[in-house]
């Protein structure tokens, strides 16, 4: 499975989601070739995913073949019109969640093969052969004929007749909407002929159906209450929708996801309202209402939603289109230290919330409340629980929405800097602070007010002198150390001035004064991007700041030297003009 990282962590309803798997294609597999155009697309099942949405296109993330088709929880999809031949097809799977943002996975692809024969005939899906009393406003639909790229429709009032539709080319679609209502109370004969670039299907079977008396399908309706997208809906709501002229009844389906009808499934009502008992709190519900009459059902009625909230969410915000939580977000460390020999230590929450509670977790798991403000004074080691909460007035009640986390209190003391180790590297200085003491410490450079970091190592620091600050996170104290950077590193000057005045015009290794012995073999010089500029011998005059007769600008440059003991020495220096 592919891993799609969606954050270091997301805290949602007390659950921590660290990463989400994306499914691999099972058939055809990613990169497959010569795939039939009528293939089914299958992918791995991912536990915890509410449903899948699939897109197919001729480019990565493309939707020109299939655009964001929701398929529910199944992991197989049959493209309704097949696929184009000799084409690389990109498959994009989107993971649908009710309580998390959707996740669009990286596209995978396969390539279809060549089609060399005409398609076979298709079968009529609606109206079925021999059906009677068919609504005269009905459309004609049929099943996909593998390899077909288009269809022709003939329909008449006699066998092989074409007086209603004369070999109409409807293109690559599976429905035909006659430009006018079909003749009422009439036996009709229909033939669907698939075709592709290799020719048309041969001798397709004619089917028949009989229309009923003239009638009109009802239109769709919409919710009055709760309105589409409504929130804070009571748990026993009164559902009402707009009445539709000519409708004799309504089919009502309600589900807890766009793919389910687990509350009501096509329940029939002869009025435009009903009570629904005991909805779940904190859920979004998906509603479809389809009016019908003797002519049939309304066509293309859309799904609507509303959300209940007797609790803390998530609920759907129709304005932003996002899920909203009433629980506060909290940010408190897993561990804090209290100062030795200093009584209690006060900690203050910076989280935005209506109320706060702090608990001491006793042996055996019981809890003792020790503070109800944003501040708490801690003087004992052990495990604690911090809780922040908001409140909401709902249906005459006040609901509390808390967020909490456990943390540990440990011993802490003022830090004591033993030393600061300074290492020169090509990218600058590396400062490592060695600290003594028991505590949770943080580190800053050159400013006692920070910013502070948890790491005791600073890298890529420009050459110079610095003050390192170390402080205890629990407020037990601060220590500092001044770092004075030497002008040379093992005999390598920190700068030179090649201006032709005869002073310091060359950059070169300087042997130790005590011995006068040259203890390096080769020296190479680079610019800040690692490009090799020069290689000099330690016994030469040195580098004059030029490359191929061209003066290089004043800047910082880097060197690497190899000692006679085969030790690598790295550092940097400045060219000044």
Inform me whether the pLDDT recorded for 423 exceeds 80: no
Distance of CA 423 to the CA centre of its chain: 41
**pLDDT tens column, 508-536:** 887 765 566 778 888 999 998 888 999 99
Contacts of 59 (CB under 8 A, 6+ apart): 90
Lookup: tokens for 296: 């049939």
The predicted pLDDT at position 524 comes to 94
The predicted pLDDT at position 16 comes to 32
Distance CA 462, CA 31 (A): 49
The Cα-based distances of 351 to 264, 398, 451, 470 in angstroms read 42, 22, 20, 25
The predicted pLDDT at position 205 comes to 93
**Mean pLDDT across the chain:** 86
Span of 54-58, 320-324, 416-420 with lowest mean pLDDT = 320-324
The predicted pLDDT at position 342 comes to 67
Inform me whether the pLDDT recorded for 322 exceeds 80: no
The predicted pLDDT at position 463 comes to 66
Identify whether the C-beta of residue 168 lies closer than 8 Å to the C-beta of residue 140. no
Tokens 């003087």 belong to which residue?
A: 379
Q: What percent of the chain has pLDDT over 70?
A: 89
The secondary structure of 460-472 as a DSSP string is: EEPSS-EEEEEEE
**pLDDT tens column, 8-23:** 233 333 333 334 689 9
Identify whether the C-beta of residue 385 lies closer than 8 Å to the C-beta of residue 334. no
**pLDDT tens column, 263-273:** 888 899 999 98
Q: What percent of the chain has pLDDT over 90?
A: 51
What is the mean pLDDT of the segment spanning 237-259? 90
Tell which residue, 573, 572, 576, has the closest CA to residue 427. Answer: 572
Tell which residue, 190, 218, 188, 193, has the closest CA to residue 203. Answer: 193
Inform me whether the pLDDT recorded for 439 exceeds 50: yes
Number of H helices, E strands in the chain: 0, 54
The predicted pLDDT at position 13 comes to 34
Omega of the bond leading into 127 within 30 degrees of 0 (cis): yes
Inform me whether the pLDDT recorded for 124 exceeds 90: yes
Inform me whether the pLDDT recorded for 393 exceeds 80: no
279 compared with 210, residue with greater pLDDT: 210
| 3 state SS for 72-105 | ECCCEECCCCCCCCCCEEEEEEEEECCCCCCEEC
Distance CA 357, CA 374 (A): 8
Distance of CA 551 to the CA centre of its chain: 51
**pLDDT tens column, 150-201:** 999 999 999 999 999 999 999 999 999 999 889 989 999 999 999 999 999 9
The Cα-based distances of 95 to 21, 54, 215, 557 in angstroms read 10, 9, 43, 51
How many Cα atoms are found within 13 Å in the side-chain-facing hemisphere of 129?
A: 8
The predicted pLDDT at position 252 comes to 94
The Cα-based distances of 131 to 152, 206, 216, 296, 436 in angstroms read 22, 14, 18, 14, 90
Tell which residue, 413, 432, 422, has the closest CA to residue 479. Answer: 413
Inform me whether the pLDDT recorded for 96 exceeds 50: yes
Tokens 């609790």 belong to which residue?
A: 311
The predicted pLDDT at position 70 comes to 85
Inform me whether the pLDDT recorded for 459 exceeds 80: yes
How many Cα atoms are found within 13 Å in the side-chain-facing hemisphere of 496?
A: 24
Residue 395 zone, left/alpha/beta (φ > 0; ψ -120 to 50; rest) = left
Identify whether the C-beta of residue 416 lies closer than 8 Å to the C-beta of residue 477. no
In the chain the first and final C-alpha atoms are separated, in Å, by: 58
How sure is the predictor about 486, in pLDDT bands with cuts at 50, 70 and 90?
very low
Lookup: tokens for 555: 């800047």
């Amino acid at each position: 499975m592919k891993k799609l990282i969606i954050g270091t962590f997301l805290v949602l309803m007390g659950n921590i989601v660290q990463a989400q798997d994306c499914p691999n294609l099972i058939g055809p597999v990613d990169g497959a070739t010569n795939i039939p155009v009528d293939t089914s697309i299958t992918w791995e099942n991912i536990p915890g995913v509410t449903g899948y949405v699939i897109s197919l296109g001729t480019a990565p993330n493309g939707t020109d073949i299939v655009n964001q088709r929701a398929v529910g929880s199944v992991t197989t999809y049959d493209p309704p019109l097949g696929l184009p031949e000799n084409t690389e097809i990109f498959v994009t799977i989107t993971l649908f969640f009710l309580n998390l943002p959707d996740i669009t996975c990286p596209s995978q692809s396969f390539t279809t093969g060549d089609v060399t024969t005409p398609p076979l005939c298709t079968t009529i899906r609606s109206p079925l052969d021999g059906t009677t009393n068919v609504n005269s406003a009905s459309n004609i639909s049929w099943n996909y004929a593998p390899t077909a790229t288009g269809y022709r429709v003939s329909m008449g009032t006699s066998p092989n007749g074409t007086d209603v539709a004369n070999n109409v080319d409807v293109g690559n679609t599976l429905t035909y909407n006659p430009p006018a209502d079909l003749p009422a109370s009439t036996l009709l004969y229909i033939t669907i002929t698939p075709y592709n670039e290799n020719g048309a299907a041969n001798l397709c079977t004619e089917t028949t159906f009989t229309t009923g008396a003239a009638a009109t399908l009802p239109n769709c309706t919409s919710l009055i209450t709760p309105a589409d997208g409504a929130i804070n809906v009571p748990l026993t709501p009164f559902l009402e929708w707009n009445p539709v002229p000519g409708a004799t009844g309504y089919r009502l389906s309600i589900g807890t996801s766009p793919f389910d009808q687990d509350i009501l499934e096509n329940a029939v009502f002869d009025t435009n309202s009903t009570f629904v008992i005991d909805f779940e709190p904190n859920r979004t519900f998906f509603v479809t209402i389809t009016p019908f009459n003797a002519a049939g059902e309304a066509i293309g009625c859309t799904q609507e939603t509303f959300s209940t909230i007797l609790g803390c969410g998530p609920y759907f915000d129709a304005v932003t289109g996002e899920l909203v939580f009433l629980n506060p977000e909290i940010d408190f460390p897993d561990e804090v230290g209290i100062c030795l020999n200093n009584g209690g230590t006060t900690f203050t929450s910076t989280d935005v919330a209506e109320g706060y509670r702090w608990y001491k977790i006793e042996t055996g798991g019981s809890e003792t409340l020790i503070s109800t403000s944003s501040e708490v004074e801690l003087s004992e080691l052990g495990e604690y629980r911090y809780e922040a909460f908001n409140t909401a007035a709902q249906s005459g009640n006040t609901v509390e929405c808390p967020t909490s986390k456990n943390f540990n209190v440990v011993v802490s003391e003022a830090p004591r800097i033993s030393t600061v180790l300074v290492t020169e590297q090509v990218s600058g200085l590396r400062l490592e602070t060695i600290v003594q003491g028991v505590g949770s410490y943080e580190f800053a450079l050159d400013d006692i007010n920070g910013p502070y970091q948890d790491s005791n190592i600073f890298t890529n620091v420009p050459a110079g002198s610095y003050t390192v600050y170390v402080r205890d996170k629990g407020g037990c104290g601060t220590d500092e150390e001044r770092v004075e950077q030497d002008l040379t590193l093992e005999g390598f000057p920190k700068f030179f001035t090649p201006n032709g005045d005869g002073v310091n015009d060359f950059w070169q290794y300087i042997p130790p004064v005590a011995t006068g012995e040259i203890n390096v073999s080769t020296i190479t010089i680079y610019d800040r991007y690692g490009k090799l500029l020069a290689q000099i011998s330690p016994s030469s005059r040195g580098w004059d700041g030029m490359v191929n007769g061209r003066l290089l600008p004043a800047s910082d440059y880097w060197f690497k030297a190899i000692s006679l003991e085969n030790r690598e020495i790295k550092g940097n220096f400045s060219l000044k003009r």
